[in-house]
Amino acid sequence: MRVILLGAARLPDVVREAERLRPLIERHADIALADFTGEADLSTVEADAAIVLGGDGSILRAAHQMGDRQLPVIAVNLGRLGFLADLSPNELIEVLESHTLEDLQVVEHLMFDCRVTRDAELLGAAIGLNEVAVQSGPPFAMMDVDLYVDSELVTTYSCDGLIVSTPVGSTAHSLSAGGPILRKDLQAFVISPISPHTLSNRPVVDSADRVYEMVVADARAETPVVLDGRVLCAVAPGDRIRVRRADVRFQLVSAPGHSYYQTLREKLGWGGRLRKDRNV
């Protein structure tokens, strides 16, 4: 197996763990490239998979770095929650010792294409994995956001912002805004308003085959469009933020011995117990 080794150099634990793991990885795989800056061009690197060290932020960065050429990702959790990164460093070595890439289950996840336009001018474009959010900028007053689905006006949200999220992103910003958790392999988007003024404005889940557009009628010069935690551009009144299914898929190697609900129980601290006798 030829692999790319990725991580964030700004995190000292990642660099130290990469130095420790590298000779162990090289016993079972050829490292075609190691990059901890996030700046290397991966488009011409011949590799079978990417090993990403860190947390979900490192995985997001790796997905952006791979762009239109998404490799299967073996995610190693060195962060805190790590909804995407399930493997521990020791489990990584066990997986490499006992499996080939063909043995492992690779699950494809929805990515999105976001384009921001002003009339016929393209202001910004990128693909992403988690979410697109338009958020209130200074002076941080409530704003009105029109939501269109397949060019049909759905409603106008009076809120601090609006999030369009993938299932992978449903446990990120959208969850903090009160959105639902979507199973990661669903083909759907969830629209979650941030602090809506009207309590009847609840999160909405709809098909990934539709096109979603947001327009901020009263946008200010500082109103940002944030894509996977990074500012894509600022919008003015009438600018359109269009989100649709991307042509590429994020490919995540399913960690042996881990399951979806097990991850939710462990990461979200879900408690409770099953009672054999419901009458007790």
Residues 258 and 221 in one domain: no
Average pLDDT over residues 181-194: 95
Together in a domain, 89 and 134: no
Whether residue 117 sits in one domain with residue 91: no
Specify whether the CB–CB gap between 233 and 223 falls below 8 A.
no
Q: Tell me, what CATH number does 175's domain have?
A: 2.60.200.30
- Count the domains in the chain: 2
Catalytic residue from among 56, 86, 228, 239: 56
Binned at pLDDT 50, 70 and 90, residue 216 comes out as very high
- Report yes or no on 214 lying in a domain: yes
**Looking up tokens 């959208």, which residue turns up?**
174
Range of the domain at 177: 111-247
Is 56 known to be catalytic? yes
Strands 106-118 and 121-128: antiparallel
Q: Supply the pTM of this predicted model.
A: 0.90
152 plus 198 within the same structural domain: yes
For the chain, the helix, strand and coil percentages under 3-state DSSP, each to the nearest 5 = 20, 40, 40
User: Which helix (H) or strand (E) segment is 62 a member of?
Assistant: helix 56-66
What CATH number is given to the structural domain containing 64?
3.40.50.10330
In a domain, 52, yes or no: yes
Residue 157 has pLDDT above 80, yes or no: yes
pLDDT digits (tens, 9 = 90+) for 68-91: 999 999 999 886 667 788 888 999
Same domain, 187 and 230: yes
- In-domain check, residue 277: no
Residue 158 pairs with which residues in a beta bridge? Answer: 144
Do 92 and 166 lie in one domain? The reply is no
- Shared domain check, 230 and 132: yes
